[in-house]
A = this chain, B = another copy of it.
Amino acid sequence: MTDRPGLSKGEMEVARVLWSLGSASVRQVHEAFPPDREIDFATVQTYLRRLETKGYVTGEIQGRTRVYTPCVQPQSVIRESIHDFVDRLFGGETLPLVRQLIEEGDVSTDELAELRRLITRLEKQRKPEVQ
């Protein structure tokens, strides 16, 4: 597969911010952090540098500042992380995780309904003769 080294906690945090911004300078990323998350400018800078080394973002000097742009889809990174996580905690089985997630009360009633719809849709999709 894509043979990028995995992302650490902190790198993931920064990557998420950058994904949400699309493309940004260190300062912009730093400022986009939630206010309660105290983190030094230089720390963000280091993370972005490491993300570049690991091949997740590209940085380009524009004027006098360096602008970073993600070069991997969040989707794929997230998918890989999930896979890894499920492997590690549930030996690769998805269902126990899903069960835990929705049983644990972290899912609102509205969301439950939405999930039900999603399941219905998937079931139809898989049984095409129901036309």
Contacts and interface: CB of A to CB of B under 8 A. Distances in A.
Contact of A12 (B89, B113, B122): B89
Q: How many copies does the complex hold?
A: 2
A119 B126 contact: no
Contacts of A88: 9, 12-13, 16
Nearest to A10: B88
Interface string A43-83: 00000000000000000000000000000000000110110
Interface residues of A, number: 39
Contact of A103 (B13, B116, B118): B118
- 9 closest Cβ contacts across the A-B interface? A94-B106, A95-B111, A116-B119, A98-B101, A94-B101, A112-B119, A94-B107, A12-B88, A85-B85
